[in-house]
Amino acid sequence: MESIASSLGLELGQLITHAIGFLIAVWLLKKFAWKPLLGLLEERKQKIKDEFDTIDRKKEEIDRLTAEYEQKLKEIDAEARKRINEAVAEGQKIAAEIKEQAKEDRKNEIAKARLQIESELASARMQLRDDIVELAVEAASKAVSESLDDKKHRELISKFIEDLEQVQ
């Protein structure tokens, strides 16, 4: 060892002094600085662990809230679909009522039109009957006023028939 120490220019005394000084420095560091350093390191380790725990809790909270929001969105979607279906059903019901009312109105209008037609037909029949009676009376008065021979009688009947055809 002396050869190594002498080649480096160190003496044994210096080497021992350095070794003792180093051991004293380590002892002093251990006595006064090691515990505070370990305490700082332990404190830092705990702080990092707490931050990871906080992150994990927040992540779990986010996951829970996300699940709640997704469930609420599903409920809202289901409610919206339900309301849409109810609105469609109500619309179909109203459409059916409108159709039924339209059918009823149409039946009423047809019935009114039939009554009006029947009334006008009855009125036309009455008018026709009155016209026929008038023509018959006129023909009879002409027949009475003129002396009827067979030829004249035939002319009056032909004219009466022609007048009837014109009225109808």
138 pLDDT above the threshold of 70: yes
Structure tokens at 87: 């609105």
30 pLDDT above the threshold of 70: yes
2 pLDDT above the threshold of 60: no
Q: How confident is the model at residue 124 (pLDDT cuts 50, 70, 90)?
A: confident
Q: How confident is the model at residue 38 (pLDDT cuts 50, 70, 90)?
A: confident
pLDDT digits (tens, 9 = 90+) for 41-50: 899 999 999 9
